[in-house]
Amino acid sequence: MCKLRESDNLLATNVHVSRKAMFKSKPINLLCLATIFSLVGTCQGAPGETSKASTIPSPTSEGGESLQPPSGYVIGAGDILGINVWHEPEASVLSTVVRSDGLISLPLIKEFEAAGLTPKQLEKALTEKLSKQIRQPDVTVLVKEIHSERIYLIGALKKESQLTLKSSLTVLQAIAESGGLTDYAKKAKIYVLRKENGKSIKIPFDYTAVIRGDHMEQNIALKPGDTIVVPQ
């Protein structure tokens, strides 16, 4: 009986020690858990703040992707534009086609002439127009598609064609996009026919020299209305 009592006492002592150790470690565990939860909360952020930030549009991103127009680009018939008025969705439009008469349709001002203007000029004109209805309007014009600005390729090419200038395009790039030259092309006699101040001028282009890395200044950026002529 004494041995059993000693055993019982030993068991009770162990239980007491275990409980004591558990209670001692509990504050440490709670502290660790509190630290973890605080880190998780910091990473996730407040749900209200996240949803609020996502609802504020950027003045340049709203309306989808836009093109980077070529240098000197002027809006013309057939082009597709996006008009974004910062924080004014009722005055904005995701896309509008420039009609053959040069006009575009907008929610608040109905029709407005866009053809013949650069995007920056149109932004300024629309800002002035909308300022009569909206306090300090912030207008952004996005060029979605360009169909009005074209260049032409004729002569000894694998495919005579016309290309739309959606972005900056050089003579060499235009020839490549048309399929390249035929075997009968006079590569050193190519020229770009361009109208300036009402007069036609010829800008020489030596295909062989440019391919070789010489006379790179001849590989000019094309302008709307340019015609690449390849003699044979």
Of the chain, the percentage scoring pLDDT greater than 70 comes to: 72
Q: Give me the residues paired with residue 196 across strands.
A: 199
CA distances in angstroms from 15 to 21, 22, 43, 199, listed in the order given: 10, 10, 41, 106
Residue 197 has pLDDT above 90, yes or no: no
Residue 7 has pLDDT above 60, yes or no: no
The answer to whether the CB of 81 falls within 8 A of the CB of 120 is: no
CA distances in angstroms from 197 to 149, 200, 201, 219, listed in the order given: 18, 8, 10, 22
At 56-100, the pLDDT tens digits run 333 343 445 788 887 788 999 999 999 999 999 999 999 999 999
| pLDDT value for 76 | 93
Rounded Cα distance, 218 and 228, in Å: 12
When pLDDT is averaged across residues 157-179 and rounded to a whole number, the result is 92
The region of weakest confidence among 54-58, 126-130, 171-175 is 54-58
Q: Take residue 37 and report the two structure tokens written for it.
A: 């939860």
Residue 3 has pLDDT above 60, yes or no: no
The region of weakest confidence among 8-12, 89-93, 107-111 is 8-12
Residue 50 has pLDDT above 50, yes or no: no
